Amino acid sequence: MIETLQRFGDVVIADVAQGRNMYQMPLNVFCVVDGAGRTRNVAYVVQDRQDHDAHQWALQQLVSASGSKPSVIMSDQDAAFMSAVRKVCPDANHLLCLWHLWKNVRRNLVSKLRDQWSQFCQRFWLVYRAPSPKAFETRWNEMLRIFPRTRPYLETFQYPNRRSWAAAWTRTQFTANTRTTGRVESENGVNKMLSSRKTTLMELFPRLLQRAAQQGDSGDGNSSFLSRNADAVEDYFQE
């Protein structure tokens, strides 16, 4: 796992899963994309909490094992994790998972827009795909003009992070062809088959380490399929 991290750790994808052990401790999974385009798990961290300090410690251990800091980190919009990334990897481009971002947008705006929702969706993705920062600003302002009820939420929670999700900025960066945390989400589905709320940590980690070893075994058809087919929605978000 460490060798894989050192070779392919330019882009690191992170996500947290719940219910993987009897202690109800969150499992933070970090993965990379190898030279064959496969998902490779490079770190598992069981945390007793999900605050800034816990995430900072996890990232520090990841950097220590790698010997260098990633150029890109992909995650959801968890505020504590975002602040930890700024502390440990201030020069990394922290990209936000578009699937989680859109989930947050929908949760906060669908009730406000009601019958305008589908029109807003089309406009939002037009903004997302703007070819340049200048075009993004133009399309963004036009969207707020057409849908003024979205302004408080979008200006407070999404506009400040625009460089972390809008294609005008992200398309200029190497992201290993990923725009969501779907690869880790898929791994969390595998991990769910390996553990439950009754699993001890002594039982959990050998299974996780075995899974990580299987990912590099090209002779295992099943593990190869699970590694390569990260997430069905990933293609939708490609520019």
Q: Are residues 188 and 78 in the same domain?
A: yes
Q: Are residues 121 and 226 in the same domain?
A: no
Check: CB of residue 123 under 8 Å from CB of residue 146.
yes
pLDDT tens sequence across 211-225? 999 998 754 434 443
Task: Indicate which CATH number applies to the domain containing 208.
Answer: 3.30.420.10
Check: CB of residue 173 under 8 Å from CB of residue 72.
yes
Check: CB of residue 11 under 8 Å from CB of residue 39.
no
Q: Are residues 18 and 131 in the same domain?
A: no
Give the count of domains, the chain.
Answer: 2
- Name the token pair of 82: 């975002």
Could you give the angle at which helices 117-128 and 98-113 cross, rounded to 10 degrees?
150
Q: What is the pLDDT of residue 28?
A: 94
Q: Are residues 13 and 88 in the same domain?
A: yes
Check: CB of residue 73 under 8 Å from CB of residue 63.
no
Q: Are residues 86 and 195 in the same domain?
A: yes
Question: Beta strand 93-96 with 72-75: parallel, antiparallel or unpaired?
Answer: parallel
- The pTM (predicted TM-score) of the whole model is 0.86
Determine the structural domain holding residue 157 and report its residue range.
Answer: 98-170
Q: Are residues 9 and 104 in the same domain?
A: no
Could you give the angle at which helices 221-228 and 201-215 cross, rounded to 10 degrees?
90
**In the chain, what percentage of residues exceed pLDDT 70?**
91
Domain boundary among 170, 193, 217: 170
Q: Are residues 86 and 190 in the same domain?
A: yes
Domain boundary among 126, 151, 170: 170
Q: Are residues 188 and 164 in the same domain?
A: no
Q: Are residues 93 and 7 in the same domain?
A: yes
Q: Are residues 93 and 188 in the same domain?
A: yes
Q: What is the dihedral of CA 134, 135, 137, 142, to 10 degrees?
A: 150
Residue 85 to residue 10: CA distance in whole angstroms: 14
pLDDT tens sequence across 155-185? 999 999 999 999 999 999 999 999 999 999 8
Q: Are residues 183 and 196 in the same domain?
A: yes
Domain boundary among 126, 153, 170: 170
Q: Are residues 49 and 10 in the same domain?
A: yes
Mean pLDDT within 124-143: 98
With cut-offs at 50, 70 and 90, classify the pLDDT of residue 55.
very high
